[in-house]
Amino acid sequence: METEELFQKGEYDQVSEVAGKAIEDGQYGESWRLLKARADFARGRYVAALDTLEVANTRYSSSIRLRWLGMQVAKSAGVDELSSRWSNEISALVDRNPWSYTNAASRVTLGRYLFAAGADPRKVLELFFDRAKSSQPGFVDAYIAAGELALSKYDYGIAAEEFQKAAGFEPENADVLYGLARAFASSDSQKADLTIHKALEVNPRHLPSMLYIAETFIDGERYEMAEKWLDRASKVNPEHWNLWALRAVIAHLQADHDREGFCRRTALGWQPLQAKVDYQIGRKLSRHYRFADAVEYQRRSLTIDEDFLPAKTQLGQDLLRLGKNEEGWTLIKQVAKLDGFNVVTHNLLKLNQRLSQFTTLESNGIQVRMDAREAEIYGPQVVQLIEEAREVLCRKYIHELRTPVTIEIFPSQADFAIRTFGLPGGEGFLGVCFGNVITANSPASQAANPSNWQAVLWHEFCHVVTLQKTNNKMPRWLSEGISVYEELQRDAAWGDTLSAEYRVMILGADLTPVSQLSSAFLNPKSSNHLQFAYYESALVVEYLIAKYGQETLLRILIDLSVGMPVNESLQRYTGSLAALDAEFSDWIRDRTTRVGGDLDWAVPERIEVRPDEGVAPSPAEQAMTPAQALAWWNAHPNNYFALQMAAKLFISREEWDAAIPPLEQLIDHFPQERGSNSALRLLARVYRETGDEEQELKLLRQVVREQGNALDEVSRLIELEAEAEDWEGLAETARRGLAINPLRPVVQQALADAADHLNRPTDAIAAYRALLQLDPIDPAGMHYELAEQYVNLGKRKLGKRQVLLALEQAPRYRQALALLKQLADEEVFPPNPSLPNPVPPNPAPPNATGGSRQAEDLLSDRKESR
C-alpha cells in the first residue's frame, strides 16, 4: 500500500490525514485504522490514537492487531485500565476462536502479546515467529519480532542474524536497520553507527534511531550533541518518555538536579506507573560509573513494578560493581530463575560457580581473588604490588582508600569478559576498574603480544584512587590519562611512549583538543586511534602537572567530585579553554618535533614491503615490492620508514650484515620505539644470527629494561646470562620476566638459579614453590631444593617436610636421604643457637584462604569491575 510506504518514510502527518480521510469516507478494513493510529502514536498524539482505536475496536470486534496496538498506546498514555481491557479481549478472542489467527500477521501479533505476558520465549519463537516465517516467506515483521526478543535476552548474535535476514527482504526498513544497529552495538560500534544513520536516511523521523544516537553521544560525554538529537526527536514526538528520561540523564551528569527532577517527572507524566523510566535513567548512569545513583534509580523502578526484570538484572550487576555481592548475587539468581533465557544472568551464574573455586588473598581491606594455582605461583607478588600502589598513589592523591577493594584476576578471557561486561567479547581489554572492584586478565590468557600484569594492575589501581576521590564523577579521558601517566612514573618501561606512529599523528591532524578529549574515546576511527587517545590523555596530565602543578590536578579532582563538569574546572585554573587547547597543542608539537628531528619523516604511500618470493607465504597486499622499497630508501636515505623497510627486507632475506646500518641509524635517532618491530629488538635478533653475543647481550639488556613486555627477549637474555653465570643480571632479568609472565617455568627457573647462587633463600623458595605448580619434570628435585633453602633459612621443620615429599616421589634419592639424616641428627644435637642467622627471615606471607570457604565468601562479601 502506498500509504504504508509513506509511513516507512516517516511522513506521519500525511499518513494520518490520508487514513483519516479514508475512514471518514467509510472505507472498510482495519488497515486504515491501524495506519491512522500508528501515525498519531508516532507523533505523540496518544489521545487521538486512542480515539481511533476505541471506535475501531467496537467495529472490528475480532481484531487482535488493533487491540495489541491499543495496548501499546494506552500504556504510553498511562491509561492502564484500557490496556488491561484490550489485553483481556485478545485473550478471550483467541481462546474462543484460535483458528482465526493463523495468518502470519496474527501469529506475530499473538507471539508478541504472549511474550509480553511472560510466555516461554522458545515456544513463542517456534510456534509463532518461525511459523509466521514459513507460512509467509519474506514477512519481515516476524524477523523483527524474533530479533527484538533476542535483544531483550541480551543475545546479540541471534538478534543480528534475525535482523540481517529481515534486511535481506527489506533493506530499506528503518525498524530493521535500527534493530541491526542495536545488535551490532556491543561488538562493532562503527558498524552500528553506519547502520543507524542509514535508518535515518530511509526515515528521517525515525524516533528510536534518533534516541539511539543521543544515547551514544551521552555515553561519549558529548552532551551538547546529545541535546541536539533529543531536540530533533522532540519535533517528532515531544511526549516520548525516553526523550525525557535521557534529558534527565544529561541533567544528572551535569549536576543540574532541579532539571533532572523535572525531566524525570515529565517522562513519568503520561505513565506514572511505568517502571522503565527509572530503569532507563539508572542504566545510563551506570554507563558513566555513577553506580550508587544508578542503584537508587533501579530501586525506584522496582518500587513501581517489583517484577520488572530488566531493572532487576541491572540492579544485580550494579551491586556487584559496587562490591555489594550478597544482594547482587541474590538478585542475579532470582532473575535467572524467573527468566531462563536471560543470557547475562545465565553467564554470571555459571561464572559464580567457577569463582567459588578461587583463592582469596587479603591485605588491609584489599582482597585479591585468583585461580588457586596462580595464587600459589604469584599471589604474594600481586599483594605486594597492590600494597605499594596503595601507599604511593593514596599519598600522592591525598586520598584515604575506602575499602574493601576487590581485585579479581581471571585465567580465562571469557570469564573476565562475563564478569566485566556480562557477555563474552571485549578481547582488547586487559583490565577494568569500577571504583572498588578491579577485574583483570591473568598472564594465562596472553597471546602473541604479552602485556605486563604489574603495569595493568598499577593502572587499574590508580583508577580506584581517582574514581573514589571524584565519587566516580570523572570523564573517562582524565581517568585514563592519570592512570597511564602514573604507570610511567612507577616504571619508565610501562605505560605508552612516543612511537613513530604517534609522532606522525601528533604532528599531523590527529591531536584532539583538550576540551574535546572525551570524544576521542567515542567511536575512535581505529583501535590505534583509541590507543592514541590514552596516550594523548596522559600527555595532557603531564602538561597540567608541569605547567600548573600537582596541586592543581588535585583541585580539579575535587571540583569533579562535587559534580562540576571537567571543562568548567579546567577553565578555572587555566583561564580559558581555547588558550589551554592552543598551549597544550604547541607544547606537545614542539616537544615531539625535537624527538627524532634528524630523521626525514615523510610517509611513503605504502610502508609495508612485500618479501621476496618464496620467503613468506602470503605477501601483504598494500605493500611495495622489494625493488620499490630499496629505490625509495635510496631516494630518502634518512627516512624513518625507508630505514625500517630496508632493515626488514634484509632480515627477511637473511642478509644480516646489510640490516645492521639502517637499524643502527634508527637506534641513534629514534631509540624509543617499542614493540616487536622496534629497531632495538630487530638488531638484537640480527646479532644473534651473526653470533655477536656481546652486542646481542647489550641490546637485549636495553630492550628488557626499557620495554615492559618483551617476553621473548627476556627468555633469550636468561639463556645468555645463565651461560655467562651473571647471577645479578639473571636475577634482575627474572624479575622483569615475572612482571610479564610468572607462569613461564623458564622465568621461575632463572629466579631460582640466580637466588641459589646469590644466597637469597626467600627468592629461591618462592621460585621453587612456583615451579612445583608448573608441572615440573623432576618434582622430587624441586622438593629437595626447597628443603635445602628452608634449612638455610633455619626453618628445619619446613625443610624436613620438603625432604619427605622428595622421598615420597623418589624413595632412593641419595641427597635427600642424606639431608634427612642430617636433620634427624640435629634434632638430637641442635646447632648452637647463639650463632647468628645468616639470612634475613622470610616476610610473613599474606593471609590466604582457599577451598570451601570461598563459596561462602562469594555469597557474603564479594565485588566486581571496569
Q: Are strands 847-849 and 359-363 parallel, antiparallel or unpaired?
A: antiparallel
CA 150 to chain centroid: 22
- How many other CB atoms are there within 10 angstroms of residue 605's CB atom? 8
Q: Taking phi first (over 0 means left), then psi (-120 to 50 degrees means alpha), and beta for anything else, what does residue 556 get?
A: alpha
Nearer to Zn ion, 466 or 741 (CB): 466
Q: Considering the complex, what minimum distance in angstroms separates the CB of residue 820 from Zn ion?
A: 52
Distant-in-sequence, close-in-space partners of 460: CB < 8 Å, separation ≥ 6 = 407, 431, 432, 433, 438, 440, 483, 866
Interatomic CA distance for residues 670 and 174, integer angstroms: 52
For the bound state, the minimum distance from the C-beta of residue 392 to Zn ion, rounded and expressed in Å, comes to 17
Between residues 343 and 556, which has the closer beta carbon with respect to Zn ion?
556
Q: Specify the DSSP class assigned to residue 423.
A: S
Of 88, 81, 73, which Cα lies nearest the Cα of 36?
A: 73
| Least CB distance to Zn ion at residue 534 (A) | 7
- Tell me whether residue 480 or residue 788 sits nearer to Zn ion (CB atom): 480
Q: Backbone phi, then psi, for 369, in 5-degree steps?
A: -110, 125
Q: Provide the CA 524 distance to its chain's centre, in angstroms.
A: 15
Pairing of strands 431-433, 437-441: antiparallel
Q: Which is nearer to Zn ion, 524 or 779 (CB)?
A: 524
Buried/exposed code over 650-685 (b: 16+ C-beta within 10 A; e: otherwise): bbbeeebeebbebbebbbebbebbbeeebbbbbbbb
Q: Which residues pair with 439 in a beta bridge?
A: 408, 432
Tell me whether residue 436 or residue 665 sits nearer to Zn ion (CB atom): 436
Residue in the structure block whose three cell numbers are 622421598? 807
Pick 155 or 480: Cβ nearer Zn ion: 480
Phi, psi of 201 (to 5 degrees): -65, -40
Span 663-682, contacts to Zn ion by CB under 5 A? none
| Residue among 392, 566, 638 at smallest CA distance from 491 | 392
- The single residue listed with the C-alpha cell 485473550 is 91
Q: Judged by CB, which is closer to Zn ion: 484, or 683?
A: 484
The 3-state DSSP class for residue 285 equals helix
Smallest distance, Å, CB 456 to Zn ion? 9
Helices 207-219 and 174-185 sit at what angle, rounded to 10 degrees?
20
What minimum distance in Å lies between the beta carbon of 433 and Zn ion? 7
Q: Measured from the CB atom, is 432 or 755 closer to Zn ion?
A: 432
Residues 399-438 contacting Zn ion, CB under 5 A: none
Peptide bond connecting 424 to the previous residue in cis, omega within 30 degrees of 0: no
Closest CA to 644 of 687, 681, 614, 679: 679
Please, which of residues 455-514 interact with Zn ion by CB under 5 A? 480, 483
Distance in Å, CB of 286 to Zn ion, minimum: 18
CB nearer to Zn ion: pick between 234 and 497: 497
**Nearer Cβ to Zn ion, position 481 or 626?**
481
Nearest Cα neighbor of 64 from 124, 110, 19 is: 110
Q: Considering the complex, state which of residue 483 and residue 748 has its C-beta at the smaller distance from Zn ion.
A: 483
Q: How far is the CB of 574 from Zn ion (least distance, A)?
A: 24
**Which residues, numbered 185-214, are part of the site for Zn ion (CB under 5 A)?**
none
Nearest-approach distance from CB 451 to Zn ion, in angstroms: 13
Angular region, 10: left φ>0, alpha ψ -120 to 50, beta rest: left
The least CB distance from residue 599 to Zn ion, in Å, is 32
- Residue 197's contacts (CB-CB under 8 Å, 6 or more residues apart) are none
Smallest gap from Cβ 483 to Zn ion, in A, equals 5
Counting residues that bind Zn ion (by CB under 5 A) gives 2
Query: Which DSSP helix (H) or strand (E) runs through 699?
Result: helix 693-706
Identify which of residues 457 and 755 has a Cβ nearer to Zn ion in the complex: 457
Nearer to Zn ion, 483 or 519 (CB): 483
- Using CB under 5 A as the binding rule, the residues of this chain from 4 to 23 that contact Zn ion are none
Instruction: Kindly state the smallest distance separating residue 497's Cβ from Zn ion, in Å.
Output: 17
The CB-of-480 to Zn ion minimum distance in angstroms stands at 5
Site for Zn ion in 228-287 (CB under 5 A): none
Q: CB of 865: closest distance to Zn ion in angstroms?
A: 11
Among residues 550, 620, 559, the alpha carbon closest in space to that of 396 is found at 550
Rounded CA gap, 248 and 227, in Å? 11
826 Cβ contact list (under 8 Å, min separation 6): 796
Shorter beta-carbon distance to Zn ion: residue 215 or 480: 480
Work out how close the CB of 469 gets to Zn ion at its nearest, in angstroms, rounded to a whole number: 15
Given the complex with Zn ion, which of 280 and 483 has the nearer CB atom? Answer: 483
Nine-digit cell at 407? 581485585
Alpha helices by DSSP H, 562-639 = 566-574, 577-594, 626-635
Sort 188 into a burial class: Cβ within 10 Å, 0-12 / 13-18 / 19+: middle
Residue among 482 and 556 whose Cβ is closer to Zn ion: 482
Residue (40 or 486) nearer to Zn ion, CB = 486
Q: Smallest gap, in angstroms, from Cβ of residue 557 to Zn ion?
A: 16
Strand partners, 433: 438
For Zn ion, the closer of residues 212 and 421 by Cβ is 421
> Is the Cβ–Cβ distance between 816 and 810 less than 8 Å?
yes
CB of 462 to Zn ion, least distance (A): 8
Least distance between Zn ion and beta carbon 459 (Å): 6
State in angstroms the smallest separation of the CB of 298 from Zn ion. 26
Question: What does the alpha-carbon distance between residue 539 and residue 529 come to, in Å, rounded to a whole number?
Answer: 15
| Residue 209, CA distances (Å) to 157, 178, 205 in order | 20, 6, 9
CA geometry: angle at 676 spanning 631 and 674, to 5°? 95
DSSP 836: P
Residues that bind Zn ion (CB under 5 A): 480, 483
